[in-house]
Amino acid sequence: EVAHLYGAGKLLDDEFKANPLKTRDQVNRVPSCYHPLVLRHPVTGRKSLYATGQSSFAIKGMEETEARELLWKLKLHAIQDRFVYSHSYEVGDLAIFDTLSTMHSAVPIEKADANDAKTKRLLWRISVRGLPLIYKNSGKASKTDGSN
């Protein structure tokens, strides 16, 4: 299992400067949790790396340095160009992805201003819970998918 801390992880001081999602004080007040390092998809049955993004910082049973090195190598593997899709959004675009098997990240954009037609934007995030009905009795869903 991999230790995960939502928002920033146990970032090093130089990482806080480069990516100030949260202050060190905010991070210290939020407890970490553990997730599987490899997850079997409840529909496809395929294995994928899980929790290897920037918020992962330790692996149960491993020395800290060794765990960080492995997580870094896994992340470098996962973000190779051949695995990356980058989207340049245009008005009317809809992006849908499977959060169980997709690492997702945003890139900095200019500050939005609701009064400026050039920077004004509308973003909706929709999360779906459970599996679609088509999978419930198809035998494709695992017994651990939580949709029963």
In this structure, is residue 25 part of a structural domain?
A: yes
What is the value of pTM for the model shown? 0.63
In this structure, is residue 102 part of a structural domain?
A: yes
Q: For residue 70, what are the domain limits? A: 2-136
State pLDDT tens for residues 122-140.
Answer: 778 887 777 766 666 555 5
Please tell me the predicted confidence (pLDDT) of residue 11.
Answer: 47
Mean pLDDT for the stretch of residues 14-42:
70
In this structure, is residue 88 part of a structural domain?
A: yes
Judged against a pLDDT cut of 60, whether residue 142 lies above it is answered with no
In this structure, is residue 143 part of a structural domain?
A: no
The residue type found at 42 is: P
In this structure, is residue 117 part of a structural domain?
A: yes
In this structure, is residue 55 part of a structural domain?
A: yes
Count CB-CB contacts under 10 A for residue 6: 13
Judged against a pLDDT cut of 90, whether residue 63 lies above it is answered with yes
How many structural domains comprise the chain? 1
State pLDDT tens for residues 72-110.
Answer: 899 899 889 998 888 888 878 888 888 778 887 777 667
Candidate from 21-35, 41-55, 75-89, 106-120 with smallest mean pLDDT: 21-35
